[in-house]
A and B are shown apart, each in its own frame.
Chain A
Amino acid sequence: MTALLSVIGLGKKFGGLQAVQDLDLTLNEGEILGLIGPNGAGKSTVFNLINGVFPPDAGRALLEGREITGEPPYRVARYGLARAHQIVQPLLGMSVLDNCTVGACFGRENLPLHRAREVAREVAQGVGLGDRLDTLASTLTTAGKKRLELARALSARPRVLLLDEVLAGLNPTESERMVHTLRRIRESGIAILMIEHIMRAVMSLSDRIVVLNLGRKLAEGTPQEIANNPEVIAAYLGDPQRMPEAEGVE
């Protein structure tokens, strides 16, 4: 397997706070890599550093072997990396279809408008927004906005997808549908790096998991290894006896 996304020695400081330090990540083709850790561990910052929302102080990021360190977000998107935000950022005054068309137009394939509209329609239908194409994004429910966030990212036809808590705030049925959708995305060959707090989902979806604590990598391994790692349990998962309860939280 070849690495689609590699992160080497990534670091970022905000004032006196070392948000991310010396972080290495590798995301392989057709893989789902889970990124977990307590609140404030620096997970979303890692995403911001990778897709260029702000430049890192140290380290590099490579997408398909191409240097993307410090490139602005719109160029990183063009190279084939798409992102769904934790706090959804729909283009409120635009329809679902137009939202996705923006993703398709300016994504990896840089499509002309009419082709982009076809791709957008296809993708929106794929994630279950097919009957909402002309709806204004502002009138969607929370679950709908989460789906839109995902559809927009997928419309770019990316190689790598960064997903920031796409399951948060969904009820069990919606969450199950979303997990199903994510599996299908992986099967289509897109590599996924996902931040998630819902342990049941992240354990069952991920091929590997990286645990972040205080900006550093605490552990890395298969879901099984992570679940049994004493350090991870102490820092994040909590007492194994109380695991079933902890799952329900968030």
Chain B
Amino acid sequence: MWRRAFPWVIASAALLYALFPYVTNDVQLRESLLLAAVYIILASNLNLVIGYAGYVNFGNIVFFGLGGYICLYLVNDLQWPVILAALAGAAGVSALALVFGLGILRLRGAFFALATIGVNAAIAQLVTNFEPWGGATGIYLAIDAYEPLGGPMQALWTIYLLIVGLMAASLLASYAIRNSKFGLGLIAIGENENAAAVLGVPTPLYKALIYSASAFLPAMAGGLYFFKSGIIEPGGAFSLRTSIEAIVMVMLGGSGTVIGPALGAFLYEESRGYLLTAEAFSHFQLVIAGTLLLMIVTFVPGGLLGFVHRWWPRTRRWLE
């Protein structure tokens, strides 16, 4: 029964998430929740590749960054409406990921992980030297870019709602994939790729498809996020650090599950907010993230949800 209810639970949770800062009219809370939602989108989509297909994508942030660039360029230079621009960015990045995916997904294990770092670094370099996108200084949005959304104040709320929408879409997509034939094939690949191929799973196609699919919503979120910031530059857009943090979030919550990565992202982001403001920890934040990752993979490789599943096996049936 819970299984059938899952989409409704997600939709209701997202609705509460969206309404809460609106009702309380708490702008600071909205900013914090927006950042958490962005990370949930990143972690949830990264989980499709890491948790389902078993491929560690270290350069996952490239989707977010490139989506942001395409969107801001379309809005700033070609005066596209932001939603259309973000969608176009997502479609472009997804198509690019499909092409890249068919190539680099021939690699396995550490070699694939290295290749994904390479893709991120190469795109970052390319953008840094690409004059139409402002080179190293990036793109600054003109203030009147927010006019179509009713001015900057109103735009912030609109972007917030859109990003929460993308967050819900990420979770629903993750759930739908996990409970589909496509998902079954992916999970088989994650378990044992050679065996999956012998069983008939079209491995090259499935891997490329999920790599491409995992790019779409993060790229769109990147477009909206950088539109909200009003500025995008290569260092912020293609930060390897954020990429690694996204992996920590997936592992923390439980890779291969639907709500695990979202839980991990939310906890990580909110506790980081605390650590950053606490004087003693602010410089050690990455050290803590690294230690955390080490401890998770050593002691609880299944993450939070894996831990719950192990101690209460009955939850395996309904808590995905």
Q: Which residues of A contact B (CB under 8 A)?
A: 51, 53, 72-75, 77-78, 82-83, 85, 89-94, 98, 101-103, 105-107, 112-113, 116, 152, 156
Contact = CB atoms under 8 A, between A and B. Distances in A.
21 contacts: A72-B197, A74-B196, A74-B200, A74-B201, A74-B203, A77-B200, A78-B200, A85-B195, A85-B198, A89-B192, A89-B194, A90-B192, A90-B195, A91-B196, A94-B188, A101-B184, A105-B185, A106-B185, A106-B199, A113-B180, A152-B199
A179 B52 CA distance: 36
Residue from A101, A105, A107 having most chain B Cβ neighbours under 10 A: A105
B181 interface: yes
Contacts of A116: 181
Q: Closest 7 interchain pairs by CB?
A: A106-B200, A77-B200, A91-B191, A89-B195, A73-B197, A113-B181, A102-B188
Contacts of A53: 194, 198
B198 A102 contact: no
B273 interface: no
A103 B184 contact: no
B14 interface: no
B202 interface: yes
B219 interface: no
Contacts of B200: 73-74, 77-78, 103, 105-107, 156
Nearest to B204: A72
A102 B197 contact: no
Contact of B191 (A73, A93, A101, A107): A93
B191 A106 contact: no
A92 B54 CA distance: 13
Contacts of B180: 113
Contacts of A101: 184
Given A74-B202, A94-B191, 19 more contacts: A51-B198, A53-B194, A72-B197, A74-B196, A74-B197, A74-B198, A74-B203, A77-B199, A77-B200, A85-B198, A91-B188, A91-B191, A91-B195, A93-B187, A94-B188, A101-B184, A105-B185, A106-B199, A116-B181
Nearest to B317: A134
B317 to A, nearest CB: 9
Contacts of A103: 199-200
B181 A105 contact: yes
Interface residues on B, range: 10 to 19
B198 A77 contact: yes
Contacts of B185: 102, 105-106
A78 B202 CA distance: 9
Contact of B192 (A51, A91, A106, A107): A91
Contacts of A83: 198
Interface in B185-232: 185, 187-188, 191-192, 194-203
A98 B197 contact: no
Contacts of A98: 184, 187
Contacts of B184: 98, 101-102, 105, 113
Contacts of A93: 187, 191
A94 B187 contact: yes
In this complex, the member of A94, A102, A107, A113 whose beta carbon has the largest number of chain B beta carbons within 10 angstroms is A102
Given A112-B181, A113-B181, A73 B188 contact: no
B281 to A, nearest CB: 36
Nearest to A149: B195
B200 to A, nearest CB: 3
Contacts of A51: 198
A106 B186 CA distance: 12
A156 B198 CA distance: 11
A92 B199 CA distance: 15
Contacts of A106: 185, 199-202
A26 to B, nearest CB: 23
A90 B195 CA distance: 8
Contacts of B191: 91-94
B10 to A, nearest CB: 21
A136 B185 CA distance: 17
A202 B181 CA distance: 37
Most chain B CB neighbours (cut-off 10 Å) among A51, A73, A74: A74
B213 to A, nearest CB: 18
